Amino acid sequence: MDPTSLTAFISIASAALAIAIGSVGPALGEGRAVAQALQAIAQQPDESNTISRTLFVGLAMIESTAIYCFVVSMILIFANPFWNHFVQAAGGE
Amino acid sequence: MTISPDEIVLFRWGVVELNATIGLSWLVMLLLVVVSAAITRNLSTGTGMSRWQNLLEVLVTGMRDQIREVSRQDPGIYLPFVGTLFLFIATANLLMILPGWMPPTGSLSTTTALALSVFIAVPLFGIAQQGVLEYLRHYVRPTPLMLPFNLIGELSRTLALAVRLYGNVMSGTVIVAILVGIAPLVFPIVMRALGLLTGLIQAYIFAVLAMVYIASATTAYREEEQAARSTRDRDPMNHSKED
């Protein structure tokens, strides 16, 4: 396999791996957080304002790890620096 | 496929380019300023008010309440900064309801600029509330061993603020662009509606996180001081009872 197609192959495969593995962890974490928050609201309905605000902020913090993986895989697919290097080398010849 | 408004260049003078990100940001700013100025031109203090004044009052009192609840301080000096962040991001994201609108927050340059303004505002508010020395002492608390971690945390949370907003808005745009290619009938509209919800939540979260960072720079010491004072207050009472 020549270097160009090897770069493309590895980039696409690692983009898929990044978003696949990177979405499992935050999904589990968000599930736990929402379950605990619902339990807390069920026990103390008066505090639901504070709990849901903290829940939203916490969910955003957890979700940002998945977003990082998404950004990395988007970079690998649409703005890959290694791929661009090969494209420029081919154009420069 | 254009995934960010950075790629659209509106004008070019020599080396200076005006891309769509800057143009759309200016449009959002212009919209906010013109609408607010038009509404606040004739305010009424009586019971009869225009519906637009009612809208602004709901927004401002809502933001004041949220800031007070998050920071447990008077929202007066924080409202202009945090409220502007919220209004700008929310307007930029909610205008996605217009066809062809690309939110300027879907570009990493805009979100980096917003995160940098938070990065600068945190020490400014902290120093204004506590003075330079007290603010700098934050970094060696609880022990000087934590100094590098505090510094890294300060930088990484700025990066996280920028990438979080960018990633959320950009992912909405990309998903809609992909769905237009695959199933162009109904599904892009559903994802756009979801994007409106995500955009509003992200604006809220950005403002709340900025407020949390500012509050952590302005209140941490005060709480310790209060705790120390309350124990000090309690001690003489115990002594007097014993006496």
Within 8 A of B162 by CB-CB distance, chain A residues are none
- Is residue B242 very low, low, confident or very high in pLDDT (cuts 50, 70, 90)? very low
Give mean pLDDT, residues A54-76. 86
The minimal CB distance from B3 to the residues A50, A68, A78 is found for A78
Fold annotation for A3-92: F1FO ATP Synthase (1.20.20)
Give yes or no for A60 touching B (CB within 8 A): yes
Any A CB within 8 A of B173 CB: no
Q: What are the φ and ψ backbone dihedral angles of B9, each rounded to 5 degrees?
A: -100, 120
Q: Read off the pLDDT band of B240 (50, 70, 90).
A: very low
Q: pLDDT (tens digit, 9 = 90+) per residue, A7-16? A: 889 999 999 9
pLDDT in tens, B27-45: 999 999 999 999 888 888 8
Residues in Cβ contact with B110 at an 8 Å cutoff, skipping those fewer than 6 apart: B21, B25, B92, B104, B166
Q: What is the pLDDT of residues B127-154, one digit of tens each?
A: 988 888 888 888 887 788 888 888 898 8
A21-31 per-position pLDDT tens digit: 999 999 999 99
Residue A93: the pLDDT is: 52
User: For residue A3, what pLDDT is reported?
Assistant: 82
Q: Which residues in chain B have their CB less than 8 angstroms from residue A74's CB?
A: 3, 170-171, 174
Q: What's the average model confidence in pLDDT over B97-105?
A: 87
Question: Residue A24: its pLDDT value, please?
Answer: 94
By residue range, what is the domain housing residue B125? Answer: 5-242
Interface test with B, best of A30, A48, A57 (most B CBs within 10 A): A57
- ipTM exceeds 0.85: no
Q: Which residue of B has its CA nearest to A58?
A: B205
Q: What is the pLDDT of residue A17?
A: 94
- Could you give the 3-state DSSP secondary structure of residue A80? coil
User: Would you call the peptide bond into B142 cis, given omega within 30 degrees of 0 as the criterion?
Assistant: yes
Q: Is 60 exceeded by the pLDDT of residue B221? A: no
pLDDT above 90 (res B60): yes
- Calpha distance B211→B125 (Å, rounded): 11
User: Could you tell me the two tokens for A30?
Assistant: 């968000």
Closest partner CB to A64 (pick from B69, B70, B160): B160
CB contact A47 to B (< 8 Å): no
Report in angstroms the alpha-carbon separations of B183 from A29, B177, B187: 31, 10, 7
d(CA B86, CA B60): 11
Mean pLDDT along residues A68-81: 86
Section B173-183 average pLDDT: 85
- Alpha-carbon gap, residue B150 to B58, rounded angstroms: 37
Q: Is B100 helix (H, G, I), strand (E, B) or coil?
A: coil
Closest-approach residue (CA) in chain A for B169: A67
Q: Which of A54, A63, A67, A76 to mutate to test the interface with B (most CBs of B within 10 A)?
A: A67
Vertex B179 angle, CA B161 and A76, to 5°: 50
d(Cα B90, Cα B104) in Å, to the nearest integer?
Answer: 11
Average pLDDT over residues B64-81: 89
CA distances from B2 to A79, A83, B5, B83, B185 (A): 12, 18, 7, 31, 20
The residue ranges of every structural domain in chain A are: 3-92
| Average pLDDT of the segment spanning B157-179 | 88
Residue of B nearest to A63 (CA): B164
Average pLDDT value for chain A: 88
Tally of structural domains, chain B: 1
Q: Does A71 touch chain B (CB under 8 A)?
A: yes
- Do the Cβ atoms of B198 and B168 come closer than 8 Å? yes
Flag if B168 and A56 touch (Cβ within 8 Å).
no
Q: Does B202 touch chain A (CB under 8 A)?
A: yes
Any CB–CB contact under 8 A between A13 and chain B?
Answer: no
pLDDT grade for B232, boundaries at 50, 70 and 90: low
Enter the pTM of the model: 0.82
Q: Is B208 on the interface with A (CB under 8 A)?
A: yes
